Amino acid sequence: MIDYTEKIPNNVDLGRDRVLQRALEHWQPAYMSWWYDMGPNESHNYEVYLRTATSVEPDGWAQFGYVRMPEYRWGIFLQPRDVNRQVNFGMHKGTPSWQEVPGEYRSTLRRVIVTQGDTEPASVEQQRMLGMCCPSLYDLRNIFQVNVEEGRHLWAMVYLLHRYFGRDGREEAEALLERRSGDADNPRILGAFNEPTPDWLAFYMFTFFTDRDGKFQLCALAESGFDPLARTCRFMLTEEAHHMFVGESGVSRIIQRTCEVMNEHKVEAPSDVRALGVIDLQTMQRYLNFHFSVTIDLFGSDASSNAATYYTTGLKGRYEETKIEDDHVLSDAEYPVFEVSGNKIVKKSVPALTALNERLRDDYIGEIQGGVDRWNRIIEKSGIPFRLVLPHKGFHRAIGNFAGHCISPNGEVLTEEAWKNRQHEWLPSAADQAFVQSLMIGRVVEPGKFANWIAPPIRGINQQPLNFQYVRFN
């Protein structure tokens, strides 16, 4: 169980290490000041029906109740230690997992932890204005739940930095509160975390696509030979599942509502659909194209010596590493990657070790396709002859082999001119964004009411009814 009488709730026996405890208690006010500045706008007096972790056991961790968000108990929770756990891949395979950071991997490991940690506050910053135009109290509560948990994920990485990386770690922890999403001088580290999330369609797409990158990266880090990192990522994954649910069900509900309105009024043309105050499926496809492409960039280059090093040294594994049947060393294995040659995309085999980013990206795309299929079933059931499709993985890429090439969603290699002429068909235009923004007028806060452009969910939170007062504004 987690001790909530402590100033910093934790299950790592923080009280026994006074120096560490003091260092984190010193960081805590800086974190709170960041939350007041960059956390959800105008939310500080609201009481929100949130779940809080009470135990790290899979079946009993959630407790629901009203919380003023600045009083949310952000803390440090690691999955319990398995004393027999080993390093399961790379050159140290078969040796006991590490409880301290091996000196030679210190800077590499720190970099991975900082990169992971940086995404968490970034997403809170990206979403901070969305509460002002929420489509319902239910949705408002969900975004706040996501935001407080991203805050906790930052705590998770900051604990590792403070506990295992000494002074450098403390400096990195401070810098995590200084960078800002989209800031020209001091931006967040990874590309997608500097893109704005200006409306709720973008928010649901982000939680469906980008939070799922979080899931896959955390799964790879949960395999780490550095046991405290593995254990903290395992617990973070239990929280991540709800974020992806918010994204998938949010997009589903928008699709559902659009299809209902299209059928009721027997309209098909996007302009007619828009005139009825719902989002046309074509615009949803363009949002999907955008969020998918910027998110798959987050997996890094197709061929990466960094990724090979992370793996060989036992720092970052593959998705479900221990379920894969091979030698877990990959010295001779190969993996297919794609590149542009002339005006064609060609496949080539490269050492599997260097292609680990690409492999994780492919695992991710497989899971994403399942979600898109579920969205299409809603459209199909409505009898509407439209299907959402994932673009080719070379489409609109800024990292890796496709960066600098103009690839259509179908995977054709285009000239720059041809791309420019057609990109508005494939990516959200200023007009698309302005239209979606035009629906984000004010917020819907009457219990049980939903904005016109989104269907209600099937059920409420924690078996509460849909007209429950999920947020009290005071």
Residues that bind ligand BYC (CB under 6 A): 112, 115-116, 119-120, 123, 150, 190-191, 210-211, 213-214, 217, 297-301, 304, 306-307, 316, 357, 399
Beta carbon of residue 340, minimum distance to ligand BYC (angstroms, whole number):
17
3-state secondary structure of 242: helix
| Distance separating alpha carbons of residues 149 and 241, to the nearest angstrom | 11
3-state secondary structure of 123: helix
In the bound state with ligand BYC, the residue whose beta carbon lies nearer, of 231 and 274, is 231
In the bound state with ligand BYC, the residue whose beta carbon lies nearer, of 163 and 359, is 359
| Distance separating alpha carbons of residues 258 and 263, to the nearest angstrom | 9
Beta carbon of residue 458, minimum distance to ligand BYC (angstroms, whole number):
24
CA-based torsion, 91, 93, 95, 96: positive or negative: positive
Q: Which of 357, 74, 81, 366 is nearest to 239 (CA)?
A: 74
Beta carbon of residue 195, minimum distance to ligand BYC (angstroms, whole number):
11
How many Cβ atoms sit within 10 Å of the Cβ of residue 115?
A: 16
Beta carbon of residue 246, minimum distance to ligand BYC (angstroms, whole number):
11
Beta carbon of residue 298, minimum distance to ligand BYC (angstroms, whole number):
5
Tokens matching residue 260: 């209902």
In the bound state with ligand BYC, the residue whose beta carbon lies nearer, of 217 and 285, is 217
In the bound state with ligand BYC, the residue whose beta carbon lies nearer, of 363 and 412, is 363
Residue closest to ligand BYC when measured from CB atoms:
300
Beta carbon of residue 120, minimum distance to ligand BYC (angstroms, whole number):
5
Contact assessment for residue 281 and residue 261, using Cβ atoms and an 8 Å cutoff: no
* Three-state SS annotation for 250-308: HHHHHHHHHHHHHHHHCCCCHHHHHHCCCCCHHHHHHHHHHHHHHHHHCCCCCCCHHHH
**192, exposed or middle or buried, with CB in 10 Å at 0-12, 13-18, 19+?**
buried
| Angle value at C-alpha 112, between 156 and 340, nearest 5 degrees | 135
Beta carbon of residue 224, minimum distance to ligand BYC (angstroms, whole number):
11
